[in-house]
């Protein structure tokens, strides 16, 4: 396909595709899917070889969030029945983190529910970072605490945080239909605060919330402009008890096309296969490793993932290797902080990678020709399991 040849050439040169090209990737047929994966896989291998970075989530404070994000099981008014607990003690968080590191994770992602941290919360997280790094030499730590206020990013950086995650989630045009208690601009501002403080920025999206192809392209192009080092791609986990519980819009093929589009738009960025991969990709998860160079090991914030050993077996069986702690994830030009990722200038940002929250979004077809009607996938509620182990429980973590 001329489209794929052009996209590969641009990806190898770190050039931005056109919006029309990005939309065309989402509009490709299932008959062309393996060609799309192979093409995007060439770009992935150019910048990241066959390495897969492992990340591990520690949910520091679960549930009871005052925000109304429709996709979230921890939202205001959620009836999802997820674990609810206040801040873990630093030693508890460090023990959970050590389990992930023992399983092969080189980055620990510290997440807390809520609109954003108070200064006292930043102190708590700073103590937790010290405890984790004291027990695990060389581990990277990413914080995901919500909207930041003045000076908090600097304090986290001084405490030893390497990165900060705050996802854009969906396009600016549809953001108000998903969340009303904060804005898209608030999220952009927090990412920029993290970058200004010298933290590696991590910001991604959620697919499967009923958005259009144009919305997906809009949010990915918005991310490209922000220039985070890491872009997590989450697929909505439709928790019962949330407003989006009936949104089962994704197929494995659709997920692969979305990941390929993200790789073409963000060729030299750490693309992380994040929440919902087990629910929506299912047996096609190994194909996604040809597109994403990073995954989460084990469980997520409020849902259970597949067994950690199954993740490791999948990586090996697919012919990939776990990225070592002594390997720099990003390509040399990004790791050195050298601008040049974008024609016409860089969106800003430091070097490194990041973490992510776990939920998702979908889309409608946009192309010159009308696509063939596709069957709505059957809801797989059996694959949505609320986390009942690990942090905040007496059971060992899945790592």
Is 272 annotated as catalytic? yes
Q: Which residue pairs from 341-347 have beta carbons closer than 8 angstroms and sit at least 24 positions apart in sequence?
A: 341/14, 341/227, 341/268, 341/269, 342/14, 342/16, 342/224, 342/227, 343/15, 343/16, 346/227, 347/224, 347/225, 347/226, 347/227
The answer to whether residue 266 is catalytic is no
Q: Which residues contact 168 (CB under 8 A, 6 or more apart)?
A: 184, 187, 188, 191, 203, 204, 205, 219, 222, 223, 226
Catalytic residue flag (residue 255)? no
- What's 62's DSSP letter? B
Segment holding 187, helix H or strand E? helix 184-196
398 and 299 Cβ atoms separated by less than 8 Å: yes
72 is known as an active-site residue? yes
Query: Among residues 44, 72, 144, 387, which one is catalytic?
Result: 72
Beta-carbon contacts of 381 under 8 Å, excluding residues fewer than 6 positions away, are 238, 240
- Active-site residue among 14, 44, 69, 254? 69
| Closest to 244 in 3D by CA, of 72, 63, 362, 77 | 72
Active-site annotation holds for 142: yes
Q: Which of 75, 272, 277, 387 is catalytic?
A: 272
Distance (Å, whole) CA 156 – CA 53: 23
Q: Is 345 strand, coil or helix?
A: coil
For residue 232, give both structure tokens: 């997590």
Q: Could you tell me how many helices (H) and strands (E) the chain has, helices first?
A: 14, 10
**Tokens at 203, concatenated:** 């910001």
65 part of the active site: yes
Q: Considering 65, 144, 266, 357, which one is annotated as catalytic?
A: 65
| Active-site residue (options: 109, 255, 266, 357) | 109
Catalytic residue among 44, 142, 144, 334: 142
Residues catalogued as catalytic = 65, 69, 72, 109, 142, 202, 272
């Amino acid at each position: 396909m001329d489209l794929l040849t052009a996209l590969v050439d641009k990806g190898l040169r770190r050039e931005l595709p056109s919006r029309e090209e990005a939309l065309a990737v989402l509009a490709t047929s299932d008959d062309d899917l393996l060609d799309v994966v192979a093409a995007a896989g060439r770009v992935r291998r150019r910048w990241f070889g066959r390495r897969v970075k492992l990340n591990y989530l520690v949910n520091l404070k679960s549930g009871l969030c005052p925000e109304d994000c429709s996709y979230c099981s921890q939202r205001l008014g959620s009836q999802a029945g997820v674990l609810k607990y206040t801040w873990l003690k630093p030693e508890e968080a460090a023990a959970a983190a050590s389990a992930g590191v023992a399983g092969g994770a080189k980055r620990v992602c510290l997440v807390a529910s809520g609109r954003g941290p108070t200064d006292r919360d930043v102190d708590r997280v700073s103590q937790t970072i010290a405890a984790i790094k004291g027990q695990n030499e060389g581990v990277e730590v990413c914080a995901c605490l919500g909207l930041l206020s003045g000076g908090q990013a600097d304090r986290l950086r001084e405490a030893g945080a390497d990165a900060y995650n705050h996802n854009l989630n969906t396009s600016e045009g549809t953001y108000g239909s998903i969340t009303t208690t904060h804005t898209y601009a608030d999220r952009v501002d927090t990412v920029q605060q993290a970058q200004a403080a010298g933290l590696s920025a991590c910001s991604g999206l959620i697919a499967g919330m009923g958005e259009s192809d144009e919305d997906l392209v809009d949010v990915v192009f918005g991310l490209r402009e922000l220039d985070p080092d890491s872009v997590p791609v989450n697929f909505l986990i439709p928790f019962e008890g949330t407003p989006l519980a009936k949104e089962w819009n994704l197929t494995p093929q659709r997920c692969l096309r979305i990941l390929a589009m993200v790789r073409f738009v963000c060729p030299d960025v750490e693309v992380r296969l994040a929440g919902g991969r087990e629910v929506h990709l299912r047996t096609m998860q190994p194909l996604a490793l040809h597109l994403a160079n990073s995954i989460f090991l084990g469980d997520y914030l409020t849902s259970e993932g597949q067994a950690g050993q199954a993740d490791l077996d999948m990586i090996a069986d697919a012919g990939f290797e776990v990225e070592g702690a002594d390997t720099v994830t990003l390509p040399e030009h990004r790791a050195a902080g050298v601008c040049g990722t974008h024609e016409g200038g860089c969106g800003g940002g430091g070097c490194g990678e990041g973490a992510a929250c776990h939920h998702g979004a979908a889309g409608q077809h946009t192309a010159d020709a009308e696509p063939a009607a596709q069957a709505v996938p059957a809801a797989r509620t059996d694959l949505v399991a609320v986390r009942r182990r690990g942090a905040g429980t007496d059971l060992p973590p899945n790592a």
